[in-house]
Structure formats: structure tokens, C-alpha cells
Amino acid sequence: MNDRIAQAFDKIHAEDALIIHTKEFLTVKTRHFSRKPVPAARKIAVAMACFMLFFIGGSSYLSWFTSISTISIDVNPSIELDVNRFDRVISVRSYNEDGDSLLAETDLRFLDYREALHLLLETEDMQPYYSPDSFIAVTVFGSDENRKDEMLAIVTDCTSIYRNVHCSSGDSMDASDAHASGMSCGKYQAYLELYSLDPSVTTEEVQKLTMRQIRDRIQDLSKGGCSRPDSERAHIKETEHHEEEAHGGGKPNSDKNNVRDENQNTNKNQSTNENTDTSEHESTNPDDSPAKNKNRNENEKNNKNQNGGHHCRGRHGG
Amino acid sequence: MRSEHEVNRAVEQYADTVRRLCMIHLKNYHDTEDIFQTVFLKYVLSSVVFKSAEHEKAWFIRVTINACRDFLKSFFRSRTVPLDALPAESAGLTEENSDVLAAVLSLPAKYRNVVYLHYYEGYSAIEIGSILKKNVNTVYTLLTRARQLLREKLGGDWNE
């Protein structure tokens, strides 16, 4: 067997053409056998460069698409702009139909937030909200207090040329609760303010109100002398938090009934006033009488004093 | 990288071995040419220092078998049909040689390697085990089964 197989295989030889082609191929591939092997140091340097490039690219990508601050713009349109550490708007969210139509007109993504804010406030849809009856709330949220204060100063400066623009900063802890309730952070902050005065108010109800209407209700309730001190408001929030935990989470508004019951007795007189005030407000025509407007302005001033120094009004505001 | 002189010597010395291994795995001249060139390019670029001529030969056998396997497993290869399915190297062979080669080539791939290495290159089962990274007993089993199959194909007078 050995011989027969050996004889058969012995007849097989590499063809001359195959050898010639291979030698030509090797000559071309090795540039006439002059290609020097890549030194190990260079290989390591290339690997390090690739790693650094990947690392820098990855971290830049992450930091670019990580939201550091949020600017909430609420009138009736309710919009939020997420801003990255490079002051660029990375995402835009709307929380109602008016907001959708406003955003349909403008593309704010990747613009500087100052430019985005300016573009947004310049849109045609925003023009009706500069009437004296409107209330445009611009609220800055963020976990970094210094940056938040800096942004608030810039936003206040940028919006100072527009009427009825009220800038403030908010607690970033409220953001997740706000989004869970289907509201922007700015509107949720106003809701919390109203809720501290009227625990019967629900998020569904507030979602349908304009910022002017929320502010009016706050003013009306404050005027009735039922305003809660900050410590009590904090207590309500804390109670809400415990209630949520006890019920395994959920929207903050869903578990407020217990808190409401707890506070109902203490607010009996207030509720009467509130109902009167609310019904009075709801029947109010946007074209209020000058006397009522004056009264409203007075209340607004009082309210501002109560809320501390966070709020600032545009220089040319109405 | 190896010098031109070194490469020319290797081509002259191992061209037939590589060609025969290509023949038992590939059924097409163009594929053979590809693998042939790939094996010698690997040799040119390889920095392996060979202890002896035997070591060098075993390296060529191992690299050629691996290159053929990789080629046969490749996506492109698995989805194409060779243009010339019959071996082109039949010229110069006697009828007996052709019958023996045809019988060897008709064996499953795992038997072809051991038959070639044992009956032509003269390697022992232990050496084949080390080249093919197989257990020695496995090599013995493969050789026994290959012998049985060849006996069946080439007739009863086929003896050791």
C-alpha cells in the first residue's frame, strides 16, 4: 500500500507556472522583500493611540449626550429643553398640544440654549403670550447649584427684553416626579406651590390650566391668608414621599387623598374661601377689569415676597 | 521578514508538499493557487525560528492544512461552486496512479491527511498526532479506518 500511494503522490508536482506566479506575488506583496517588520514599540503605540481615541471618543459622546440642566418654559405651551455641559440643547420635550405646535415650527436641538431660548420666544406662536394677562415661566433645573445659578442669571438676562417672562430656578429632585405626572418641571413646581395652599388640587387639573391661571389661584389663595409656611409644605412633600413608599411607588398625585384627609380639618375655612375664589376665577374673563388686574398685581408682589428671592422679572415686563 | 534567497529556497523545497496537500483538500486550481501563495506569504512574514529542516517541513504541513480548512469553512467558499470540479493534475499519471489518487481523494477529509502524511511523507502516528494536534490513538483509528475504506475501494488484493 505504501508504495502505490507514494508512487501516485510522487507524480504530483507544483507546476512551474504556479511557482513563478507565487514568486511574483511574494515580490509584489513584500515590495521586493524590503518590507521591514513593524517594531513592537510602534505596535504598542498604535494600540495605545486607538485605545485613547476610543476612550476620548466614548467619554465625549457620553458627556455630549448627558443632560446636566433642564430649562422649563411654561405659558400654556409647556416645553423642556435638556442642556448638556457644553450649553447645547440635546433634547426638547413638549407636554401639551400647544407645546407640540410650537416645537413643530422650530428645531432647537444642538443649538446653544441662549439661542434656543431666543428662537423659541421669537416664534409667532409665542407672540400672543406677551399680553399683560399672560405669565411666562422660565425655570432652570439642575443638580449643580453653581451652574444652575449661573444659568439662571444668563436666562434672566436673555429673557429680559420680553414681557411677562418670570425666571426662577427649581429643585432638580422634583423633575422625576414632574415627568411621572406628565408635567414639565416648571409647571410641576407651580403645582407644588398651589398644592401647598390647596391640597385638593390634582395634577390632572393643573395640566389643563395655564400658568396665568395657576398663578392667579395661588395669589387668590394667598390673599385669603391660608398660605402655608415652607416648613409645612416640606412636611406635606415628606408625607407624600412616605405614602408613595408605603404603596410601592406610583404617581405622586395618586396617593394624595390621605394627605388631603389629614389636612381637610385644618383647612375647612380655607376650602370655603378657595371654592369661592376658584369659582370666581374660573368665571373670570381674560379681559379683566383694571381694578381686578391691580388687585392681581398686588397679590403677585406678595407671592413673590413669600417665595423668596428666586424669582426675577424681565426688565421690560408688563 | 525573510530574505528573497531564503524564500526561494523554501519555495523550491516545499512547493510539491504544499501542492499535494492543496490537491487533497481543494478541487480547483485557482483555489490551490490562492492557498499556495497564502502559505508562502505567511512564511515570508513569519518570524518563527526553525530548529531543523523537519521542524520547518512540519510547519509548512500544518500551515497548509489550516489554510485549506479555513478556506473551506469561509463564507464565500460555502456559497460558491467550483468551475472545474475535477483535479487538473491528472496529466502524467498512469491508470493505477489515477485509481489510487481517486480512491484517496474520495475519502473523508479527516482520513486524507493521515493517509498522505503516513503513506507518502512517512510520518509515524505519534508525529502525525503532533502535527495535526490529535491524540495518537485517534490517529491510529483514523489510519485503520482509512485502510479499510481504501481496501474496499481498490479491491481485495490491497494489502499492507
Same domain, B56 and B71: yes
Of B91, B111, B130, which residue constitutes the final position of a domain? B91
Same domain, B98 and B86: no
Separation between Cα atoms, residue B101 and residue B156, nearest integer Å: 17
Q: What is the mean pLDDT of residues B92-118?
A: 86
Q: Which helix or strand (DSSP H or E) is residue A136 part of?
A: strand A136-142
Q: Is A6 buried (19+), middle (13-18) or exposed (0-12) by CB count in 10 A?
A: middle
ipTM: 0.86
Same domain, B62 and B106: no
Using a CB-CB cut-off of 8 Å, the residues of chain B touching A22 are 11, 15, 33, 36-37, 40
Tens digits of residue pLDDT in A226-254:
444 444 444 444 444 444 444 443 334 43
Asked if A17 has any chain B CB less than 8 Å from its own CB, the reply is no
**Mutation site for B-interface testing, chosen from A5, A10, A24, A29 by largest number of B Cβ within 10 Å:** A5
Nearest CA-CA distance, residue A48 and chain B, Å: 24
Number of domains in chain B: 2
Say which range, A34-38, A196-200, B113-117, has the weakest mean pLDDT.
A34-38
Q: What is the mean pLDDT of residues A156-181?
A: 81
Mean pLDDT of chain A: 72
Q: Do B97 and A11 touch (CB under 8 A)?
A: yes
Nearest to A35 among B1, B19, B20 (CB): B1
Q: Nearest residue on chain B to A39, judged by CA atoms?
A: B1
pLDDT above 60 for A151:
yes
Separation between Cα atoms, residue A71 and residue B149, nearest integer Å: 81
Same domain, B77 and B123: no
Q: Do B119 and A2 touch (CB under 8 A)?
A: yes
Using a CB-CB cut-off of 8 Å, the residues of chain B touching A2 are 119, 160
Tens digits of residue pLDDT in A197-216:
888 888 888 888 888 888 88
Same domain, B102 and B80: no
Q: What is the pLDDT of residue A251?
A: 38
Q: Do A18 and B32 touch (CB under 8 A)?
A: yes
| Edge-to-edge strand list for the sheet holding A312-313 | A89-94, A78-83, A69-74, A136-142, A165-170, A312-313
Same domain, B80 and B5: yes
The conformation of residue A112, written as its DSSP 8-state character, comes to: B
Strand-pairing partners, residue A140, are: A71, A169
Residue A257 Ramachandran class (φ > 0 left, ψ -120 to 50 alpha, else beta): alpha
Of B48, B70, B91, which residue constitutes the final position of a domain? B91
Between residues B96 and B127, the one the model is more confident about? B127
Q: Residue B48 is part of which domain span? A: 1-91
Separation between Cα atoms, residue A27 and residue A32, nearest integer Å: 5
Residue A250 Ramachandran class (φ > 0 left, ψ -120 to 50 alpha, else beta): left
Domain at B104, CATH number: 1.10.10.10
Asked if B147 has any chain A CB less than 8 Å from its own CB, the reply is yes
Burial A62-88 (b: 16+ CB within 10 A, else e): eeeeebbbbbbbbbbbbbbbbbbeebb
Say which range, A31-35, A213-217, A243-247, A287-291, has the weakest mean pLDDT.
A287-291
Q: What is the mean pLDDT of residues A47-75?
A: 89
Domain boundaries, chain A: 16-64, 69-313
Using a CB-CB cut-off of 8 Å, the residues of chain A touching B15 are 13-14, 18-19, 22
